Each structure stands twice: as structure tokens, then as C-alpha cells.
Amino acid sequence: MLKVKIAVLVSGGGTNLQALIDAERAGIITSGEIALVLSNNPNAYALERARAAGIETAVVSRKECPESFEERIIAELDRHGIELIVLAGFMSILSERFTSRYPERIINVHPSLIPSFCGKGFYGLRVHEAALEYGVRVSGATVHFVNEIPDGGKIIMQKAVEVKDGDTPETLQRRIMEEAEWKILPLSCERVSRDILTAKTNND
């Protein structure tokens, strides 16, 4: 069966990557396959998760090649025939030159209900700190296409999560990962992969 080749870009522990690997094994993702895990951090534990799953890995460090960072990423993506890019905790902003090369082929998961608590400076625990400071009763996660505006691309899927009394940024972060991110990211991957396959079939 024809499958869309997916690259997952990571910087840290790779919990969202693991959710994608598990979803592929469970048959939730059937239209795509993870063909490459690429990190800008050579010490990212996500690389170990990829190797354990038998997925090819690559490291491209901005520190080591600041002038050619994106070109080297593009070269790796081309080498593996990648058609869909998933940003899963990738802590490096990609330029408009990069994102415009892959229109509606890059997706990201953000730990809030966009347009709340998103945009420049909103990543990691900062998102959950802001939600708690504001006093919202509901937060969640959003999967969206990536364009030149941070968190500005078209929304693919969202899932709401209750904010509980006594929540800390850490407890809220964990609940949103478990109840929203790890569910809607694989489902969004499948949806976009299926759309890419349908478009290819129609163009043949």
C-alpha cells in the first residue's frame, strides 16, 4: 500500500514522537509512515526512541551550521522522500523561506486552544503558566498547519481539556499531553496523509 513518508522534527524527550510511533503500530496512522526523525539536538532522547523503533535518524545543529541549517534539513528531507513534516517539540523557528517550500505539508501541535496563549514566546510551560494566570477553566491542544507566522496556520484539529482547581503548570501540561496532544496529533497526521494520497491519486 502506498504511504506518505513522514519526517518528525524533535528537540527533546520525544513524548509526542512516541505517541506517533504507537499510533502507527496500533493502526491509527495507516496512510503515512514515519520515515525519518530529525533533531537539532544531538542529545535528544527522542533520537533513542526513533532508533528503538527502527526509524532512521538525522541530526542538524544550528550551532554547527548557522548559515546552512535549513538547507541541510531540506537535503535530509529530500534524501528520504519526505512529503509531510511534523514538528513535535522542535525548538527552532523555521523561516518563511522554509515554510513556504512546504505549503500545508508542515504540521505542529501547540498546547493551548489557539488563538489563546499562542504566538511568539508561548512554548513549553509558559503556555500553561499564562492559562493559569488568566484563570481559564478550559485549555487544550491544537494541531495546525505551519506558515511564516508562529502558531498562525490553519487549524486541523483541537481538543479541550478541563483546568482543575490546584493545577500547576506541570500538572496541566501533563493532562493536556495525555488527554489531547497524544490523541489529536496522530489523528491529524492520518487525516493530512490521507488528503495527500487522495490529491496524488487525483493528479495521476
pLDDT digits (tens, 9 = 90+) for 136-167: 999 999 999 998 888 889 999 999 999 999 99
Binned average pLDDT, 10 residues per bin, the chain of 204 residues: 94 95 97 97 95 96 85 96 95 90 95 91 90 96 92 94 96 96 97 94 77
Provide the pairing of β-strand 4-10 with 106-110: unpaired
3-state SS, one letter per residue, for 122-181: CCCHHHHHHHHHHCCCEEEEEEEECCCCCCCCCEEEEEEEECCCCCCHHHHHHHHHHHHH
C-alpha cell at 143: 494541531
Give the integer Cα–Cα distance in Å for 26 and 34: 14
In the chain, the domains with their CATH numbers are 4-203 (3.40.50.170)
Q: Residue 19 has what pLDDT?
A: 96
- Residue in the block written with cell 495527500: 196
The one-character DSSP state at 93 is P
Give the catalytic positions in this structure. Answer: 110
Measured over the CA atoms of residue 106, residue 110, residue 115 and residue 119, the dihedral's sign is negative
Q: Residue 146 has what pLDDT?
A: 94
Buried b (16+ CB within 10 A) or exposed e, 106-120: bbbbbbbbbebbbee
